[in-house]
Each structure stands twice: as structure tokens, then as C-alpha cells.
Homo-oligomer: A and B are copies of this chain.
């Protein structure tokens, strides 16, 4: 398994990324291809005692920054670590690509440099989160497309369903549409049209789901446009952070509670980890013809290692081939009916 890694994406590049890669090589024996400024990578590794064993470097002279327009990856920054890594993936020089860089550039780069699966209309950024039943659910799109048409959302349902089957082994994933109520007629034009299309798909479509039920295992795949998905994801993130911040003063009120806090610290850490979606790895770019994982911008070594692991499992899972197959069948059926 050969994973191409953007060594200059995210807030903690390249140090934390190199550390994460080293962990991944040691633990899982993956071969890593680092894209980025060769000299800087080597000196950072040397200065920090990081072994580059089992890693190679493809040089890239530029870096996509958060201030860059996402389109830059195609022209102005076509020699950036992200662009070079993606082109290397497209050329078959690795099995998957991981970046913690700009989400917008990752979406555009994947779409135009790695390319979409044939028949897929739009790529989606998907997040996988834990639910309270001990399982996981996927929300897509969480930000690649702020505006979507109904047919695009239907494909998101297909892609999410195949991913959950192949990658996480979920039987017959329950696909739901994110909406403002559970009744069939809820939402705006987009939701109503998507609902009626999803109903007629060979999917386990269970109807509308409300945002408040997501973490309680209401569905395995939650379909939405990138705007509302992003709002849901960031509301969940923000609330978790708010609650964790607010627990500390509660604990530190008096000697009794300070003792209680010390006793519970470990359990709370576990708990925070459970909520922290970077623990699962990153967000797969669904609909892209090869595995691309977008790690969180503030990923540290451990989170980055998890994203690499996720990329490897994704590459092995056969999910992309399954999606290609289902989308092709859907198209063939549509062609026959037309």
C-alpha cells in the first residue's frame, strides 16, 4: 500500500505530518510518498529526529495557503504540494492521497486533476461521526458544494451507501435526507424533489431525518447540500467544544469536585476523543475516481496517522469500484428507459 501525502497542507505542516507518516510506517508498514519541498522536508526530519525510512519525496516548489483562491491549484499553484500529490495519484504512482490543506483546493484539485468516477455529477466531502449506538454515520456533502440539485443529492445517497457497506461493513445502510422535520412533505423545493427521487432508488431510503437525531443513530448515511451539511457539522463541533469547556469550571468548584475531576479526567478524555471526528481520520472526497482524504486542517501527528490509515483502508475496500458500478448501472437503466 502506497500513500501519497501532502507534506505542506494544514496548520502544522510539515512537522506533525512527518511525525504522523513515521507513526504510520512503523505501525502499518505503509509506503509513503511525500509531496513538497524536498529540502525543507529533509531538514525538518533531520532537526526533529524523524526517520524517513520507507518514504520517498516528490518535489513541489509551492504551497496552497488558506488565503489562496481554491482555483489556484489548477494554474497559479500547479506546482504546489497538493497539486503535485494529486497528479501523482492520477498517474497511478500511489493508491491514495491525503491532505490537510485547503478544503476548496482539495475539492477542485480532486475533481480536475484526479477526476470524478464516470457518471458522478459532483464530488462530495463526507464526514464520518460516531453515534450513541456505538456505530458511525456519514454526512455528505459537508462543504464541497454549497448549492446542489436534487439528482446530485441522490448520487450522494448512492455513494454514501456504498462507502458504508464497503468501508465500514454496514449491511443495507439506512439512507436519510437531512430536513427540518421528519414528515415526507417537509423542506423546500430541493428537499421535496430529492425525497421523491430517493424513494425510487434501489437504496434503503428511510425518509427525512432531523439534525437533532443524527448523533442518536437515526441513519447511517445523511444526505444534504454542502451548505446545510457544513452548518450541521460545525454546530456539532462547536457544541461539543462548548460543553467540554464548560465542564471544567463545574468540576473545579470546590475540593470535592476537584478530586472528582482528577478521578474523571481520563474518562473525560476518552469521551472527548469519541466526539473528535479527527480520531476517525478525515473526510473522504466521495465520487473521486481514486481515494482522496481531506484531513482536518489542525491535525496533529496522531490525527494525520489516522487519516493515512483511513486512506489505506478506503483504497483496499473496493468502495470506489462499487460506486462506479452502481452509478453505471443507474445510467444504463436510465438510458434503457429513455
Contact = CB atoms under 8 A, between A and B. Distances in A.
Interface in A250-287: 250-251, 253, 256-257, 259-261, 263-264, 267-268, 270-271, 274-275
Given A188-B227, A230-B180, A235-B232, A264 B257 contact: yes
Contacts of A233: 211
A236 B234 contact: no
A243 B240 contact: yes
A36 interface: no
Contact of A212 (B226, B228, B235, B274): B235
A143 B214 CA distance: 18
A246 B213 contact: no
Nearest to A211: B234
Interface residues of A, number: 54
Contacts of A243: 239-240, 243, 275
A231 B235 contact: yes
Interface in A195-238: 210-216, 224, 226-228, 230-238
A47 interface: no
Contacts of A191: 146
Interface of A: 132, 143, 146-147, 178, 180, 187-189, 191, 210-216, 224, 226-228, 230-243, 245-247, 250-251, 253, 256-257, 259-261, 263-264, 267-268, 270-271, 274-275
6 contacts: A180-B230, A228-B228, A228-B231, A232-B235, A235-B236, A260-B264
